[in-house]
Amino acid sequence: MKSNTRKTLDEFIIERQDDFQYSTGELSRLLNSILLAARVVSYKVRKAGLIDIIGAVGTTNVQGEDQQKLDLYAHNIFVETLVNREIVCGIASEENDNFITIQGLDQSHNNKYVVLMDPLDGSSNIDVNVSVGTIFSVYHRISPVGTPVTMEDFLQPGVNQAAAGYILYGTSTMIVYTTGFGVNGFTLNSAIGSFYLSHPDMKCPEDGNVYSVNEGNYVHFPRGIKNYIKYCQEEKENRPYTSRYIGSLVSDCHRNLIRGGVYLYPSTLKTPNGKLRLLYECNPMAFITEQAGGRASDGNRRILELTPTELHQRTPFYCGSKNMIDKIEEFIANEEK
Ligand code: AHG
Ligand code: MN
Ligand code: MN
């Protein structure tokens, strides 16, 4: 199909508006604001190397990680784009210690949604021209409309998500998102700034032959995960599996979603809760993966059912093809017996 005859994302959002639980058009407008910011960030990411936007800023975020110039740039663009659009009452971001309260133009607190985001995922890859992404998660607030947003609006279990998605600034720029009615992927035609439906109704294969893990941490992994990695490498049936690790969650999960495979970020001796953040990395990726027929687990429990207690909380994370996650849980359970 010629690209200009494909459905655009704007057309798709309007067509699907009735799917939304609170169908007032606000969630559609929210998604459109995210797309606008994504286009701006994509444009900037494509210029990395040409203008002075690569490298560290010299500051660290609340988690003690070095902040890159593009981390902060992306954070600011998404926040600025969402503020004053009368949709979002609060934003939580990897790059901000606390959540940001957003008031309407008349200083009211009537907006209904909160957004949690990882503005730039895989940012240590920027300087070496490897794919990065943005991850976002959207909830309907639970505090009463008209009052300032509260921490409990952000600390909802992932099953409550109204929408989640990621933008991948890869060989092309793509957005993949769900509102709980399957997963669809759109590719940006950067010459004209439109996203076109390129991956309708995405399905994660039930099985795969790729495992993605930072094997440099192997000696610190729990026994069950060490055993699973050895199982992946065994010469038996359809194994050994292929090892692929980009070090950019969005890119690794995107590949696994399309081709089948599994992403692992286990607990280690140094980091008992793993590295990835539940609210703006794991929950949105888990929602998308489940909606595509895959699974996401912390090793014992479904990621989407965990009750968050902190904004920047971490969790071990296993995500991808359903049968592969079942297998990982089996290996973990065997060691815990
Ligand atoms: P971020 O750039 O937002 O801090 O996230 C980095 C994450 C994730 O994208 C990636 O899969 C993982 O960290 C890589 O961690 P290791 O370098 O420890 O493997
Ligand atoms: Mn990240
Ligand atoms: Mn990040």
Domain spanning 210-336, CATH architecture: 3-Layer(aba) Sandwich (3.40)
Between CA 17 and CA 147 the distance in angstroms is 27
Between CA 116 and CA 30 the distance in angstroms is 13
What pLDDT was estimated at residue 15?
A: 86
| Nearest residue to 53 via CA among 114, 137, 127, 161 | 127
- Residue percentage of the chain with pLDDT more than 70: 96
Nearest listed ligand to the Cα of residue 277: 2
Q: How far is the CA of 96 from the centre of ligand 3 (A)?
A: 11
Is 19 within 8 Å of 179 (Cβ atoms)?
Answer: yes
> Which long-range CB contacts under 8 A does 215-224 form with residues at least 24 apart?
215/243, 215/245, 217/266, 217/268, 220/268, 220/269, 220/270, 221/266, 221/267, 221/268, 222/266, 222/267, 222/299, 222/332, 222/335, 223/335, 224/299, 224/328, 224/331, 224/332, 224/333, 224/334, 224/335, 224/336
What pLDDT was estimated at residue 66?
A: 77
Question: Would you give the distance in Å from CA 283 to the centre of its chain?
Answer: 7
pTM of the full predicted structure?
A: 0.95
What pLDDT was estimated at residue 277?
A: 98
What pLDDT was estimated at residue 3?
A: 63
Which residues fall in the annotated binding site?
Answer: 94, 118, 120-124, 214, 245, 263-265, 275, 281
pLDDT exceeds cutoff 70 at 2: no
Of 99-108, 242-251, 274-283, which gets the smallest average pLDDT? 99-108
pLDDT bin (cut points 50, 70, 90) of residue 17 is confident
What pLDDT was estimated at residue 23?
A: 56
What pLDDT digit, counting tens, does each position of 32-79 carry?
Answer: 999 999 999 999 988 877 767 677 877 888 777 777 788 999 999 999
Q: Which atom of ligand 1 is nearest to the CA of 122?
A: 2
End-to-end CA distance of the chain: 54
Distances, alpha carbon 63 to alpha carbons 66, 214, 276, 315, in Å? 9, 20, 11, 14
Nearest listed ligand to the Cα of residue 93: 3
Q: Which CATH superfamily is domain 3-199 in?
A: Fructose-1,6-Bisphosphatase, subunit A, domain 1 (3.30.540.10)
| Cis-peptide into 205, omega within 30 deg | no
Q: How far is the CA of 237 from the centre of ligand 2 (A)?
A: 34
- Ligand 1 neighbours (beta carbon < 6 A): 65, 94, 118, 121-124, 214, 247-249, 275
**From atom 17 of ligand 1, which residue's Cα is the shortest distance away?**
247
Which residues fall in the annotated binding site for Mg(2+)?
Answer: 94, 118, 120-121, 281
Kindly state the average pLDDT of the residues 292-320. 98
Q: Across the chain, what does the average pLDDT equal?
A: 93
Nearest listed ligand to the Cα of residue 248: 1
Kindly state the average pLDDT of the residues 134-161. 98
Query: How do the domains of the chain map onto residue ranges?
Result: 3-199, 210-336
Kindly state the average pLDDT of the residues 229-256. 98
Q: Which residues make Cβ contacts (< 8 Å) with residue 296, sequence separation at least 6?
A: 282, 285, 286, 289, 290, 302, 303, 304, 317, 318, 319, 320, 325
